[in-house]
Amino acid sequence: MPEALAFFRGQVVPLSEAKVSVTTHALHYGTAVFEGIRGNWNADHDKLYVFRMRDHYERFIQGCRIMMLDIPYDVDTLCNITLDLLQRCGYKEDLYIRPLAYKSEERVANLNLQELSSDFTLMVVPFGAYIEVDGAIRCCTSSWRRVDDTIIPPRVKISGHYVNSILAKTEATLSGFDEAIMLTQDGNVSEGSGENLFLVSNGVIHTPLVADNNLTGITRDSAIRIATDELGLDIVERQIRRSELYLADEIFLTGTAAHVTPVGELDMRPIGEGGVGPITQKINDMYVDIIAGNNPKYADWCAAVPLE
């Protein structure tokens, strides 16, 4: 039987025992950095593959540098802690892996990062589809603008800036849409509340610049690699205006949780034919195969967990 475990205060404990005090700094101010990593179960191989784990931990360490979170682990050690926890938990299904570095000081009235202690924890939860929709999703342009790098750096996963995504996602779903697309303060297209964005126009793929307040998405990078190396398509990273989205042939979103998600409608207007576009479909098919550990060319993106 799989066991719900966590890595907490330097050791593996039952998940139910991994608890912090209400006085913890990160709980009050969002002074934490996290990652979202997928473990993908391949029943044919009888193996669990962790997707681009090193890349996730490299982004994680970048976030820790920005937030002055001193944790005593490098990327290699974080990968080993993760593989060990997955082995001990023994899950044989799709998983979401959540590392969190946080300001653990049990003293709230202090806004100086350099004076606050840091800690690291890691948990794993079974996780299927993030957006429960068959086919293409319906999006709206959010009334919330994407948090700017001059306010809280959005290129890494700082817990506090997720309030921005949460406000946007909540507004979208309460209004009957599946997902929100956010613009920058200047009105450029930025990204979804938890996904990067791509549009296809006349066979060419366009995606916003990371500098337009995008998270440096690992699925974004995977989609770019698939589109260019496998499908021979051109990708243009540039500033994109809102109205270009309405005129696109296809739009898709990418993210660890959302995978490759086609957008069929934006602001009540159909995108292309309103369904799953052919280029989106091709990228998705390759992506699904790669993350399941089926494509030997991308074996270095998939770390197999040694399970019993």
- If one asks whether residue 159 binds ligand PMP (CB under 6 A), the answer comes out as no
- If one asks whether residue 184 binds ligand PMP (CB under 6 A), the answer comes out as no
DSSP per-residue codes, the chain: ----EEEETTEEEEGGG----TT-HHHHH--EEE--EEEEEETTTTEEEEETHHHHHHHHHHHHHHTT---S--HHHHHHHHHHHHHHH---S-EEEEEEEEE--S--S---GGGS-EEEEEEEEE---SS--SS-EEEEE-SSPPPPTTTS-TTS-BGGGHHHHHHHHHHHHHTT-SEEEEE-TTSBEEEESSSEEEEEETTEEEE--TTTT----HHHHHHHHIIIIIT---EEE---BHHHHHT-SEEEEEETTTEEEEEEEETTEE-TTSS--HHHHHHHHHHHHHHTT--GGGGGGEEEP---
Q: Which is nearer to ligand PMP, 57 or 105 (CB)?
A: 57
Q: Which is nearer to ligand PMP, 58 or 70 (CB)?
A: 58
- If one asks whether residue 277 binds ligand PMP (CB under 6 A), the answer comes out as no
Report the distance separating Cα 161 and Cα 102, nearest Å: 14
- If one asks whether residue 194 binds ligand PMP (CB under 6 A), the answer comes out as yes
Among this protein's residues, is 47 annotated catalytic? no
Among 121, 188, 213, 219, binds ligand PMP (CB under 6 A): 219
Amino acid (one-letter) located at 60: F
- If one asks whether residue 215 binds ligand PMP (CB under 6 A), the answer comes out as yes
Is the CB of residue 81 less than 8 Å from the CB of residue 123?
no
Q: Which is nearer to ligand PMP, 116 or 251 (CB)?
A: 251
- If one asks whether residue 220 binds ligand PMP (CB under 6 A), the answer comes out as yes
- If one asks whether residue 218 binds ligand PMP (CB under 6 A), the answer comes out as yes
Among 196, 213, 280, 284, binds ligand PMP (CB under 6 A): 196
- If one asks whether residue 31 binds ligand PMP (CB under 6 A), the answer comes out as no
The closest alpha carbon to 227, from 284, 272, 274, 273, belongs to 284
Q: Which is nearer to ligand PMP, 191 or 250 (CB)?
A: 191
Nearest approach, Cβ of 47 to ligand PMP (angstroms)?
22
- If one asks whether residue 261 binds ligand PMP (CB under 6 A), the answer comes out as no
Among 119, 191, 212, 265, binds ligand PMP (CB under 6 A): 191
- If one asks whether residue 207 binds ligand PMP (CB under 6 A), the answer comes out as no
Size of the site for ligand PMP (CB under 6 A): 14
Q: Which is nearer to ligand PMP, 39 or 194 (CB)?
A: 194
The closest alpha carbon to 282, from 230, 245, 237, 247, belongs to 230
**Annotated active-site residue in 47, 92, 103, 157:** 157
- If one asks whether residue 36 binds ligand PMP (CB under 6 A), the answer comes out as yes
Report the distance separating Cα 89 and Cα 78, nearest Å: 16
- If one asks whether residue 63 binds ligand PMP (CB under 6 A), the answer comes out as no
Nearest approach, Cβ of 196 to ligand PMP (angstroms)?
5
Among 63, 99, 208, 217, binds ligand PMP (CB under 6 A): 217
- If one asks whether residue 179 binds ligand PMP (CB under 6 A), the answer comes out as no
Nearest approach, Cβ of 257 to ligand PMP (angstroms)?
6
Report the distance separating Cα 104 and Cα 25, nearest Å: 6
> Which residues are identified as catalytic?
157
Q: In the complex, which residues of this chain contact ligand PMP (CB under 6 A)?
A: 36, 165, 191, 194-196, 215, 217-220, 254-256
